[in-house]
Chains A and B, each alone.
Chain A
Amino acid sequence: MKNIFPLIFTVVNLLIIPLLLTGVIRKVKALMQNRIGAPVLQPFYDVAKFLSKSETISKNTSWVFTAAPIIGLSVAFLAGALFPWSGSFLPGKFAAASNIFLLIYLLALGKFFSMLAAMDTGSAFGGLGASREATISMMVEPIVITGLGALCLNAGTPNLQSAFAGNINPIIAGLTGTALIIASLAELSRIPVDDPTTHLELTMVHEAMILENSGRNLALIEYTTAIRSCIFYGLTTQVFFHMLPFTHSMNPILQYAAGIAGVLLFGCAVAFAEGILVKLKWRNVPNFLTFGTVLSLLAALIAVTQR
């Protein structure tokens, strides 16, 4: 009976929250631009619509192009279920798997195939997007490993579930959380690194990669992106919760509710920021991400001196 809640929460996490988050972000963004915007549930309708349409595939492609979105979504499902981004924890054997190093490489697995698929069509758009995606993830992965690594060092275990279940130095949590915000903006192609609403030459990261995808294929990719957003925003939220001493010793259901509320609020904050910020020049992106690297290194420095 005790284990039933985490299972229900996991199903909700994977099936409802991701697209809801996308809807909330779009709604807030529309409000920021003085538009009424589409309903919050619009992404659900969109995905359903894409699934019911036929798909057009370039004749240059191979099996990689068809397989990549499927692999990407499966990996996202697995990562979304394993890692404690919502404040709910999977029990038993899966608890052992919520390891920070597995997290990074599992997400990289999805990215590897999505970059291959982008190159598969022979389109220069896809190439440009894939190349920039590779560059961004080269800068993001050290931030995430160092930041979450610092946090786990403070907790004394590389397992995220156990780390989140215990006490963490609030300063480290604050630094890591801020570093993760920067990392997640870049990783999820949001402003100021990439603009998720266009695929024009000026932006050209994620949307350029998926230019050739349509119909069912696109539905899978949109869904994958939504789950990945949830994982990053959720982990960041959980890290910030550890700045407040009471949040991680609550009743599990309350804790879950707080976690989800945090993810959605984070989405609102991202949308708000997108309303007031402009995209950085591509050349300035490394400088922006350097802030993240410095913050996570500071967190690591504090973590190693504290032990």
Chain B
Amino acid sequence: MSLFNQFNEVNEAGFWILTAFVLWMVVFATGLINKKHTGYFFPAVTITGCLALIAGILFSGKSTVNILVPLPFFLGEAGFDFTIDPLSKWFLAIIAITGIPITLFAPGYLHHLRNRTFPGFIWAGFSMLLLSMCGVVMSSNAIAFIVFWEMMALSSFSLVASDNEQRETRRASFIYLGATRIGTGFLMAGFLWAHSITGSWSFSAWGITGAAAIGPSILILIGLATKAGCWPFHLWLPIAHPAAPAPVSAIMSGVMIKTAIYTITRLFITGSHIEFKWLGIVLIVFGAISAFWGVIFALLQHDLKRLLAYHSVENIGIILMGLGVSATGAANNIPLLTQMGLAAALFHTLNHAIFKSLLFLGAGVIDARTHLRDIEKMGGLIHKMPWTAAAFTAGSAAICALPPLNGFASEWILYQSFFKLALNGPTAATRLTGVFLMAVLALIGALAIACFVKAVSVAFLGLPRTDNARRAREGTPQMTAAQVFLAVLCVVSGLGVPVLLNPLSQITAMTGTGSMIGNIWTIPVGILTIILLTTVAAIAIWMKKLSMKNPVKSYITWECGFGDLSPKTQYTATSFAQPISSIFGNIYRYALEVTTHGRQSRHFPETVEAETRYEAYLETKLYEPFLNWIKKFSGILLMKLQAGSIHQYLIYMAIALIILIRIGVVK
């Protein structure tokens, strides 16, 4: 087909999606020109872009849309060529519906950074991030994919680095940049390898099977795992996310890391462009470790955003477990299992995008209003910021998979797929894996509950622990609206599972055996929720009635007769997590040291100091020595290579030219 595919041949869906791209490009350009502009121009145009994207998704209906962007937009070996099928649409929808509330939220948040960052610059990066994520999930060839992947990496890097006053933030953004380089490096190597096997850049022309698939698969999976933040490549995630401004953390944690999930699904599962024999077991093992690792490290954190970042590692792990089950089903020819695992993973991807961006926005409101990120310094915020508190609690309940919210819906389908694996797996070992996964997910679920009870109760409940927390106030109405919107989405997507199964079944039908997941959702969640709410309302009214007779008395919290309680006597986040942390203490050498001072220190101490410590072995024993070695080696190498002699440099150029001619790049 000619590259001069005319725009008028592209149908309405393509038109709307290109409109979104153009609008975001406008924001990008004006943002870079007019860096200090703070009005409603940027958010309004960005939101319009998201709405245009939604219109595009709706107009495309069930059809698959192909767009070939005409010359002069061309990438040398391949064009910008887009395929918008149900899988792409699912991810486009995730980008659009989380993009809207985050954009709505951003102006209020950026206001508190007004003296430290350029809002126009952030908007430019943000709109470019949205655009490039859309590009990633639509690209149908490897070159366009890499181009958008790189735009995504660079725009998110510039956003992480935007508030770079603190040294810590600068360090975080360099670590993030390094991680994206490593990830892209592996991914490119994998793509090149796949290209050399198949001779094509287009994903749909790839059909790599057998032993040839092992090499490219491993490289591509490492590249994607780095982006997704899967163990053991997750290290950048809890460093970069807290450093970024809250709306950026929300979009990165909620949506950006999911592009890796998209790519795994696209290349390995729905299209079977690459058939990797051990994909199932690899994804299950690394998913399970990530999920467990993420949640136990989240329990140790006091920095609210870092805690949420570790939960992203956990949820990526949960999603990967679903994809792993799906791949196992495909390898063993159990189509229903393939589809259930895939549906659970993709549904959880949507749900995680909703509640994780909600939670990051909540952390953002607290940060904007109290300048606190350490939950040990918060407390009692529910009285000052009731809307944020309610929305954050709803988001926490959703991430803990409590019914009837959306986290429960996707984790329930995931449990069903594990059960199916345990029931119909071909060997006893596979079936045992299914049981094992159920136990692991139950453990992770309970740990997540512990972690979020800790976060919600220490941050929002009790008494304020510092003056900053005492002076807190609610965010702007737009910030509240954004959070309420996402909280409502948590409920809607939890109750509307049968509706959401329609697009999901279109995706699972892409695995080749027709859709089978139409009736996997058997819980009458609507009726049960109505019954539950009616009971709650009935008991509440009854209690109200009883309190007419015997009114509620307000009194102090019981302090054992010591006099008024200081906020310091409240349970801290560290103490809350201590029992669980010490059970898993061997994983990170957890230590609690209590020292008492003063004469008679045993019975009447003057001061008591308690300190908890932990050491993440993966960082201190593996990555640090490795990076130090690289630094040392490259230092020596650099000194030798860059000696400052022009003759030496000319020789380099000549050698490079000879090599290029020799391998046939320059003709």
Partners in one complex: yes
- Tell me if B523 is interfacial: C-beta within 8 Å of chain A: yes
Chain B 384-421 interface mask (CB, 8 Å, partner A; 1/0): 00000100010001001111000010011001100100
A141 to B450, CA, bound (A): 12
With known contacts A70-B539, A71-B536, A142-B442, A135–B524 Cβ distance under 8 A: no
- Tell me if A167 is interfacial: C-beta within 8 Å of chain B: no
With known contacts A53-B550, A108-B445, A142-B443, A96–B522 Cβ distance under 8 A: yes
Instruction: For the complex of A and B, list the 9 residue pairs with the smallest distance between their C-beta atoms, beginning with the closest.
Output: A127-B571, A119-B457, A54-B550, A134-B450, A122-B462, A74-B535, A304-B431, A145-B442, A138-B446
Chain B 532-575 interface mask (CB, 8 Å, partner A; 1/0): 10011001100100110011111111110000010101110001
- Tell me if B531 is interfacial: C-beta within 8 Å of chain A: yes
Q: Which of B426-482 contact A (CB under 8 A)?
A: 428, 431-432, 434-435, 438-443, 445-447, 449-450, 452-454, 456-458, 461-463
A65 to B545, CA, bound (A): 18
- Tell me if B382 is interfacial: C-beta within 8 Å of chain A: yes
Q: Is the CB of B554 within 8 A of A137?
A: no
With known contacts A108-B402, A130-B453, A149–B438 Cβ distance under 8 A: yes
Contacts of B432 in A (CB 8 A): 300-301, 304
With known contacts A105-B401, A112-B453, A77–B435 Cβ distance under 8 A: no
Q: Is the CB of A97 within 8 A of B435?
A: no
- Tell me if A248 is interfacial: C-beta within 8 Å of chain B: no
- Tell me if A2 is interfacial: C-beta within 8 Å of chain B: no
Chain A 37-58 interface mask (CB, 8 Å, partner B; 1/0): 0000000000000011111111
Residue ID in chain B nearest A76 by CB atoms: B535
Contacts of A75 in B (CB 8 A): 532
Q: Is the CB of B461 within 8 A of A137?
A: no
- Tell me if B38 is interfacial: C-beta within 8 Å of chain A: no
Q: Is the CB of B423 within 8 A of A138?
A: no
**Cβ of A111 to closest chain B Cβ, rounded Å:** 7
Overall SS of chain B's interface: helix
Contacts of A300 in B (CB 8 A): 422, 432, 435, 439
Q: Is the CB of A108 within 8 A of B453?
A: no
- Tell me if A225 is interfacial: C-beta within 8 Å of chain B: no
Contacts of B422 in A (CB 8 A): 149, 153, 300, 303-304
- Tell me if A156 is interfacial: C-beta within 8 Å of chain B: yes
Residue ID in chain B nearest A62 by CB atoms: B382
Contact of B457 among A56, A74, A115, A297 (CB under 8 A): A115
Query: Contacting chain A: which of B200-208, B335-343, B578-586?
Result: B578-586
Overall SS of chain A's interface: helix
Contact of B553 among A56, A153, A305 (CB under 8 A): A56
- Tell me if B527 is interfacial: C-beta within 8 Å of chain A: yes
A220 to B532, CA, bound (A): 15
- Tell me if A124 is interfacial: C-beta within 8 Å of chain B: yes
**Cβ of B632 to closest chain A Cβ, rounded Å:** 43
Q: Is the CB of A137 within 8 A of B446?
A: yes
- Tell me if A270 is interfacial: C-beta within 8 Å of chain B: no
Number of A-B contacts (CB under 8 A): 252
**Cβ of A74 to closest chain B Cβ, rounded Å:** 4
Contact of A112 among B402, B411, B438, B443 (CB under 8 A): B402
Contacts of B457 in A (CB 8 A): 115-116, 119-120, 130
B residues adjacent to A (C-beta < 8 A) = 379-380, 382-383, 389, 393, 397, 400-403, 408, 411-412, 415-416, 419, 422-423, 425, 428, 431-432, 434-435, 438-443, 445-447, 449-450, 452-454, 456-458, 461-463, 522-524, 527-528, 531-532, 535-536, 539-540, 543, 546-547, 550-559, 565, 567, 569-571, 575-580, 583
Contacts of B524 in A (CB 8 A): 93-94, 96-97
With known contacts A105-B408, A122-B565, A145–B553 Cβ distance under 8 A: no
Contact of B555 among A57, A141, A211 (CB under 8 A): A57
Q: Is the CB of B446 within 8 A of A307?
A: no
Chain A 118-160 interface mask (CB, 8 Å, partner B; 1/0): 0111111111101110110111111011100110110010110
Residue ID in chain A nearest B400 by CB atoms: A112
Contacts of A60 in B (CB 8 A): 380, 462-463, 556-557
A75 to B431, CA, bound (A): 33
13 A-B pairs within 8 Å (CB atoms) are namely A56-B553, A60-B463, A70-B543, A73-B535, A78-B532, A78-B535, A121-B557, A134-B576, A138-B450, A142-B442, A144-B442, A145-B439, A307-B423
Q: Is the CB of B579 within 8 A of A127?
A: no
**Cβ of A161 to closest chain B Cβ, rounded Å:** 12
- Tell me if A99 is interfacial: C-beta within 8 Å of chain B: yes
A116 to B450, CA, bound (A): 10
A158 to B403, CA, bound (A): 17
Q: Is the CB of B575 within 8 A of A127?
A: yes
Residue ID in chain B nearest A109 by CB atoms: B402
**A96-B522, A104-B442 are known contacts; what are 12 more A-B pairs with Cβ within 8 Å?**
A58-B554, A59-B556, A64-B382, A70-B540, A97-B523, A112-B400, A119-B457, A131-B571, A149-B422, A149-B439, A153-B422, A158-B419
A152 to B435, CA, bound (A): 11
Q: Is the CB of B546 within 8 A of A102?
A: no
Q: Is the CB of B439 within 8 A of A142?
A: yes
A128 to B577, CA, bound (A): 10
**Cβ of B462 to closest chain A Cβ, rounded Å:** 4
- Tell me if A286 is interfacial: C-beta within 8 Å of chain B: yes
